[in-house]
A and B are shown apart, each in its own frame.
Chain A
Amino acid sequence: MRASRLREAGVAFAFLLPSLVPLVVFTLYPLAYSGYLSLTEWNLLTPTKQFVGLENYARFAHDPALHRAILNTAVYAGAVVAGGMVAGLALALLLNRPLWLRPLWRGVFFVPTVVPLVVLSALWLSIYDPGFGLMNYALRSVGLPAGQWLSSPVSALWAIIIMMVWQTTGYNMVILLAGLQNIPEELYEAARIDGASWPRVFWRIILPMLSPTLLFLVIVSSIQAFRVFDPIFVMSHGTGGPANSTATLVFYLYRQAFMFFEAGYASAIAYLTVAIVLLFSAFQLWLARRWVFYD
């Protein structure tokens, strides 16, 4: 009996080894090692690292470019998550009724989710071209003023936000549509018998019943938004500009580590980023106790 137990544990160990080794080497060890790196000053090249204690963290306070990156990330994440959620919910409600060619529409809204972000970024670069792009053409043809989009520090981040809302909407829609279809028909029936108006049905039935799905989407899309990199890199030509207006936290980390070779400071920024994401998720979950309804 004991021998067979031991044999089973041996088999388990052998089965786990191929995944355990890479997880330890490429996730667990680096997690600890970057904690150590964040306490040093090191340019990635020299053999010796200089221990500087918490100096890198103290540097946060006097780095205006970092403050700008935090602000950019907050604006970006807030706008993309809120925009994508509202647009996704609106589309899901629209598609949750008897509709001619419904699978076709659902497919069309979903396409941007499937196309690589790098490709979408290249496409939207051409759309945002101030002279010959579709966006300014569309604005002018309905009598609105044209914009400078990615060339102006005022609008560049918003240009990327608009594209990313467009990109995430389809994903949110698919998940919310699944949530909507799980709402029992009897609830709508009961509301109709009571003569409830549509806004009332929306606030009193649809939103509470969807709230677990919404919470899930808010958390997943915020985590996603906090680590945005691809569209920033492609659409700002790898500069985070104009004038740092599109540099987000992860982009700033990338520049510190691989352009300025500040491995220690970049590691501290990595920890800061993770701390912000964790705090934000915890805050969401705490807030959720007030608005999420589980039946």
Chain B
Amino acid sequence: MIRRRIGSVAVHLVVVVVAAAFFLPFLWMLLTAVKPAQDTFTYPPTWLPSTWRFENFLEAWRKAPFARFFLNSVVVVSSITSIQLVTASLAAYAFARLRFPGKHLLFMAYLSIMMVPSQVTLIPNFITLKHLGMLDTYWALIVPFAATGFGTFLIRQSFLSIPQELFDAATVDGAGHLRMLWQVCIPLAMPALVTFGLLTTMWNWNELFWPLIVTNSLEMRTMPLGLAVFTHSEQGTSWNLLMAGGIFTAMPIVLLFLAAQRYYVQGIARVGIKG
């Protein structure tokens, strides 16, 4: 009994030490963000600021056009998520509920497209967008992501689990396919739609590579790209402002995660795909 008690204390100790390694960097970030600049150049480093400078957030926000970056990210990410939900729901309905020639083959094609790595499509897509005159616009950041093989797959699975009787009842009421999708499938597949919406929102919010390639003006940068460039100019000179900028960039997605943690963890445990 005593041995077991000691074992449990030891396990808790290990957990606390490991948790510290995961938690302390973030605490460091939060505290550095409110330090005066000279505090970030002392050795040994101090945890608490000598004076608490909450103005740092304002200063960082002004030093680079973060308001604009933020707006760009919100416009781009919310557009991609809504468009993907629409295109994927429509395609999922066709694959789950309709009969048409070549259905199986086409569905396999959607799945394989999901596997095509973005490196291979990178240069041709850049050229296509250039020809369409879309470089350095919202279009370039949104249009290539209008369809999603992964979302189609996830939503189709959830449509397939809806009992046939519900469709029969709707048919008796004279519902067409669009109404069937809107009034039967969408409400019942809400958990899958929310999970997919969350995952795609997080992935797209974090995206750095694509905005780096298709934008070049300061005004078109998204939050992660804006922060990456800010990092190159501020690191080693203004750690405090850099950490404040990092907090802006992470905040929306962390809040979203906290609000919908259950859906998110279920989502990755079920599909286990990231990025």
In the complex, chain A residues whose CB is within 8 Å of the CB of B243: 122-123, 126
19 CB < 8 A contacts A-B: A8-B98, A15-B90, A15-B93, A33-B124, A99-B11, A105-B15, A107-B261, A111-B254, A116-B223, A116-B249, A121-B228, A123-B29, A125-B242, A126-B29, A126-B40, A137-B43, A224-B274, A270-B119, A273-B119
A9 CB contact (under 8 Å) in B21, B28, B101, B275:
B101
Interface bits A243-275 vs B (CB < 8 Å: 1, else 0): 000000010011001100001001100110110
Interface size range on A against B? 35 or more
Q: Are A94 and B11 in contact (CB under 8 A)?
A: yes
Given contacts A119-B250, A223-B117, 19 further A-B contacts (CB under 8 A): A9-B100, A9-B101, A12-B100, A18-B87, A23-B113, A26-B128, A34-B122, A99-B11, A100-B12, A105-B19, A108-B19, A121-B228, A122-B227, A126-B29, A126-B32, A126-B235, A126-B239, A141-B44, A254-B213
- With A108-B19, A108-B23, A118-B227 in contact, is A220–B45 under 8 Å at CB? no
Q: Please tell me if B75 contacts chain A, counting CB pairs below 8 Å.
A: no
B22 CB contact (under 8 Å) in A8, A19, A111, A137:
A111
Q: Are A175 and B268 in contact (CB under 8 A)?
A: yes
In the complex, chain B residues whose CB is within 8 Å of the CB of A18: 86-87, 90-91, 146-147
Classify the interface of chain A: helix, strand, loop or mixed.
helix
A216 to B214 Cα, complex, angstroms: 33
Q: Are A227 and B119 in contact (CB under 8 A)?
A: yes
Q: Please tell me if A134 contacts chain B, counting CB pairs below 8 Å.
A: yes
Which A residues from 159 to 207 make CB contacts under 8 A with B? 166, 170-171, 174-175, 178
Q: Please tell me if B194 contacts chain A, counting CB pairs below 8 Å.
A: no
Name A95's closest neighbour in chain B (CB-CB): B15
Interface size range on B against A? 35 or more
Q: Are A253 and B119 in contact (CB under 8 A)?
A: yes
Q: Please tell me if A149 contacts chain B, counting CB pairs below 8 Å.
A: no
Q: Please tell me if A58 contacts chain B, counting CB pairs below 8 Å.
A: no
Q: Are A132 and B40 in contact (CB under 8 A)?
A: yes
Q: Please tell me if A76 contacts chain B, counting CB pairs below 8 Å.
A: no
Q: Are B100 and A118 in contact (CB under 8 A)?
A: no
In the complex, chain A residues whose CB is within 8 Å of the CB of B22: 108-109, 111-112, 166, 170
A171 to B271 Cα, complex, angstroms: 12
Q: Are B257 and A234 in contact (CB under 8 A)?
A: no
Q: Are A118 and B206 in contact (CB under 8 A)?
A: yes
Q: Are B227 and A97 in contact (CB under 8 A)?
A: no
Q: Please tell me if A53 contacts chain B, counting CB pairs below 8 Å.
A: no
How far does the Cβ of A141 sit from chain B's closest Cβ, in whole Å?
A: 8
In the complex, chain A residues whose CB is within 8 Å of the CB of B250: 115-116, 119
Q: Are B26 and A263 in contact (CB under 8 A)?
A: no
Q: Please tell me if B224 contacts chain A, counting CB pairs below 8 Å.
A: yes
A230 to B32 Cα, complex, angstroms: 23
How far does the Cβ of B264 sit from chain A's closest Cβ, in whole Å?
A: 8
B124 CB contact (under 8 Å) in A29, A178, A224:
A29
Q: Are A44 and B127 in contact (CB under 8 A)?
A: yes
Q: Are A116 and B90 in contact (CB under 8 A)?
A: no
- With A137-B45, A229-B209 in contact, is A250–B119 under 8 Å at CB? yes
In the complex, chain A residues whose CB is within 8 Å of the CB of B275: 224
Q: Are B208 and A230 in contact (CB under 8 A)?
A: yes
Q: Are A19 and B88 in contact (CB under 8 A)?
A: yes
A227 CB contact (under 8 Å) in B117, B245, B253, B268:
B117
Name B261's closest neighbour in chain A (CB-CB): A107
A171 to B247 Cα, complex, angstroms: 21
A158 to B135 Cα, complex, angstroms: 36
Which A residues from 20 to 41 make CB contacts under 8 A with B? 20-23, 25-31, 33-34, 37
Q: Are B12 and A258 in contact (CB under 8 A)?
A: no
Q: Please tell me if B205 contacts chain A, counting CB pairs below 8 Å.
A: yes
- With A19-B91, A19-B146, A229-B209 in contact, is A263–B19 under 8 Å at CB? no
Q: Please tell me if B6 contacts chain A, counting CB pairs below 8 Å.
A: no
In the complex, chain A residues whose CB is within 8 Å of the CB of B93: 15
Name B246's closest neighbour in chain A (CB-CB): A119
In the complex, chain B residues whose CB is within 8 Å of the CB of A111: 22-23, 26, 254
Q: Are B121 and A23 in contact (CB under 8 A)?
A: no
How far does the Cβ of B9 sit from chain A's closest Cβ, in whole Å?
A: 10
Name B101's closest neighbour in chain A (CB-CB): A9
A9 to B40 Cα, complex, angstroms: 66
A23 to B86 Cα, complex, angstroms: 14
